[in-house]
Amino acid sequence: MSLALWIAAGLLAVVALTGGITKAFVPRQKLAAVRGGGWAAGIGAGSVKALGILELLAAIGLVLPAVVGIAPVLVPVTAVCWAVLMVGAVITHGRRGEALYVVANLVYLVLAAFLAWGRFGPGSYVG
């Protein structure tokens, strides 16, 4: 179980890192022009960057607390926050008719829910 939770955390961290770098450092106009990035055209550049920073923080929060053993409860807390973010992403892509991105975000949401459940419950770090 612990291995599955580590894999889920690692996968989500990679997704968060990739998305965070893109949103934080790629200009909004460029992001809005690529497939799946059209949502960025409807919000301000500051909001896109804020989402990017949140995703970068999530990438850190999904693995670092457990790796260093300091406040490992932050891993499931971050997973819950990531799940909430993914609900917003599902709604946004759903409204735009982007089914592929809806499915991808649902997968991330399920992984985050699994991670939160596992780390708050049977796979917690408390031992």
Question: For position 121, what pLDDT does the model report?
Answer: 81
What pLDDT is attached to residue 31?
94
The angle, 0 to 180 degrees and rounded to 10, between the axes of the packed helices 2-25 and 45-68 is 150
How large a percentage of the chain has pLDDT more than 90? 88
**Confidence tier at 116 by pLDDT (50, 70, 90):** very high
pLDDT given for residue 2 in this prediction: 85
Mean pLDDT for the chain overall: 93
In degrees, to the nearest 5, what angle opens at C-alpha 86 toward C-alphas 84 and 92? 115
Percent of the chain with pLDDT over 70: 97
**Cα–chain-centroid distance for residue 2?**
20
| 108 pLDDT more than 90 | yes
Give the model's confidence band at 79: pLDDT under 50 very low, under 70 low, under 90 confident, else very high: very high
Q: Please, what sign has the CA dihedral across residues 86, 87, 93, 99? A: positive
pLDDT at 127 over 60: no
**Distance, CA of 45 to CA of 62 (rounded, Å):** 26
pLDDT tens digit sequence for 43-77:
999 999 999 999 999 999 999 999 999 999 999 99
pLDDT at position 6 is 94
